[in-house]
Amino acid sequence: MAYSENNPIRSVDGKSVKCPSSYLWKLEDVSASDAGRTEDTMMHKKRIGQLVGIELSWQNIPTSEVSAILKAFNPEYIKVCYLDAMQGKYVTSEFYVGNRSAPMYNAAKGLWQNVSFNLIERSGV
């Protein structure tokens, strides 16, 4: 697949992927193990880091494209060059992939309703 200027996922392990139909960037806080709310109702968040998460989905796609997407994101860890909302530019980081789903739309036509999953940054800052 050719690189697209409009694709928020520039590459996965150095290779182009189809532009997703939906791209949701998230920033997740990681708190210390002793974080929490005390009896005086005060929250002690104790943030020790932050991780980027990305929710992706591709809609109404043929079996060959579903297969290519799932294979590209199948390794245990992947390097993804993505558009980071907070940094305002493309950055590369290592991610792992959450559970994947791909509901069938029409088996006779080989069309899938969507394929979707989350990317979770392996190591935060």
Q: Spell out where the chain has E strands.
A: 9-12, 22-31, 36-37, 43-44, 47-62, 78-84, 89-97, 104-106, 111-121
Q: Which residues lie closer than 8 Å to 118 by C-beta, 6 or more apart?
A: 53, 54, 55, 56, 97, 98, 99
> What is the share, in percent, of the chain residues with pLDDT greater than 70?
97
Q: Answer yes or no: is pLDDT of 65 > 80.
A: yes
Q: Residue 2: its pLDDT value, please?
A: 47
pTM: 0.87
Q: Answer yes or no: is pLDDT of 47 > 80.
A: yes
pLDDT band at residue 38 under the 50/70/90 scheme? confident
Q: Residue 4: its pLDDT value, please?
A: 67
12 and 73 Cβ atoms separated by less than 8 Å: yes
Query: How would you classify the pairing of strands 22-31 and 47-62?
Result: antiparallel
